[in-house]
Amino acid sequence: MNNVYVEPVVFFVIGIITGSFLHLCAYRLPRRKSILFPSSHCPHCTTRIKAVDLVPLLSYIWLQGKCRFCGARISISHPLIELLTGLLFMIAYLRFGLSTMLIKALLLISLLMIIAMIDLKHYVIPNKLTALVLLLGLAFVLFTGEPTILSALTGFGAAFLFLLFLALVSRGGMGGGDIKLAAVIGLCLGWPDGITAVLLGCLLAGLVGLLLLLLRVKNRKDAIPLGPFLAAGALIMFYGGAGISSWYLENILLY
Ligand SMILES: [Zn+2]
């Protein structure tokens, strides 16, 4: 097989393996359990899962979504998260090649995936994870100058103020965790991509919220977690870059 195909597949495979670990982190971190010990076990019958049944994506298929020992259903979120992480890692490689930006992309994807999963399930964004996104952003500002200090600070401030404004207007519809996450995304992506990412995330959340309201899945009082949408906005902007920013600022925001 030609090299052109081998490397993206390698990153896809690294992605599905990482996705399996991210799922485990998102399950164990809010329950204050170690992410290293014990090894994976069925949450229903607590039997330790055999190595052969820990193959990302494929295990779910040959186990037909059930625990080998007790037959309890395995959440469909396992293969979905593995597949999504695999695709995101592969796209990151295709977009950035072997570069420092690829390292940033893979770390950002991993942190945002855990944050999104925890927020979806528990309606909370742990400060420690937001702090790691902040550290990632600062490390790249200091060591690669991408984004520049000025750009990072502007992105941070703009995202923070925008979410603070939304929180005040929506009166409790948004938590402090959302504001902090938006601010560090603003820093990580810099100006103007960071603020575009946050605007895009809020726009997506609004559209999905409206859809769920129309389909009567949720009612007006239900909160929908903003974290997954901020994560999606951040990744779209990280891949799409300046092109989307200038289009968005020119055509939507300034009209
Ligand atoms: Zn079981």
User: Lowest-pLDDT range, 74-78, 147-151, 173-177?
Assistant: 173-177
Residue 146 has pLDDT above 60, yes or no: yes
Clarify whether residues 146 and 26 are in a common domain. no
Q: Between vectors from CA 14 to CA 8 and to CA 16, what angle results, nearest 5°?
A: 105
Q: What is the mean pLDDT of residues 171-179?
A: 83
pLDDT in tens, 210-232: 999 899 887 777 778 999 999 99
CA distance 59 to 56: 6
> Is 215 inside a domain boundary?
yes
The alpha carbon of 49 and the centre of ligand 1 are apart by a number of angstroms equal to 8
> Is 63 inside a domain boundary?
yes
Clarify whether residues 129 and 243 are in a common domain. yes
| Residue at which a domain ends, from 80, 98, 116 | 98
Burial of 25: CB neighbours in 10 Å, binned 0-12, 13-18, 19+: middle
CA distances from 226 to 115, 177, 198 (A): 11, 9, 10
Clarify whether residues 233 and 131 are in a common domain. yes
Residue 158: pLDDT band (50, 70, 90) is: very high
pLDDT of residue 5: 86
The alpha carbon of 66 and the centre of ligand 1 are apart by a number of angstroms equal to 8
> Is 107 inside a domain boundary?
no
CB 218 within 8 A of CB 209: yes
> Is 5 inside a domain boundary?
yes
CA distance 16 to 8: 12
> Is 154 inside a domain boundary?
yes
pLDDT of residue 235: 95
The alpha carbon of 23 and the centre of ligand 1 are apart by a number of angstroms equal to 18
pLDDT in tens, 92-117: 999 999 999 999 999 999 999 999 99
Residue 174: pLDDT band (50, 70, 90) is: confident
Domain limits for position 75: 1-98
> In the chain, how many domains are there?
2
Clarify whether residues 185 and 237 are in a common domain. yes
> Is 149 inside a domain boundary?
yes
Q: What is the mean pLDDT of residues 163-187?
A: 90
Clarify whether residues 253 and 139 are in a common domain. yes
Clarify whether residues 155 and 250 are in a common domain. yes
* Report field, pTM of the whole predicted structure over 0.75: yes
Clarify whether residues 251 and 189 are in a common domain. yes
> Is 120 inside a domain boundary?
no
The alpha carbon of 17 and the centre of ligand 1 are apart by a number of angstroms equal to 21
Clarify whether residues 57 and 129 are in a common domain. no
User: Lowest-pLDDT range, 123-137, 180-194, 202-216?
Assistant: 202-216
Clarify whether residues 174 and 225 are in a common domain. yes
Clarify whether residues 161 and 255 are in a common domain. yes
The alpha carbon of 128 and the centre of ligand 1 are apart by a number of angstroms equal to 31
User: What residues are neighbours of ligand 1 (ion), with CB under 5 Å?
Assistant: 42, 44-45, 67, 69-70, 72
The alpha carbon of 45 and the centre of ligand 1 are apart by a number of angstroms equal to 4
Interacting residues of 221 by C-beta distance below 8 A, sequence separation 6+: none
pLDDT of residue 224: 83
Residue 234: pLDDT band (50, 70, 90) is: very high
For 31, the 3-state DSSP assignment is helix
The alpha carbon of 72 and the centre of ligand 1 are apart by a number of angstroms equal to 5
The alpha carbon of 20 and the centre of ligand 1 are apart by a number of angstroms equal to 18
Sign of CA pseudo-dihedral 123, 59, 105, 253: negative
> Is 109 inside a domain boundary?
no
pLDDT in tens, 9-58: 999 999 999 999 999 999 999 998 888 888 888 989 989 988 888 899 99
The alpha carbon of 51 and the centre of ligand 1 are apart by a number of angstroms equal to 15
Average pLDDT, the chain: 91
| Residue at which a domain ends, from 56, 83, 98 | 98
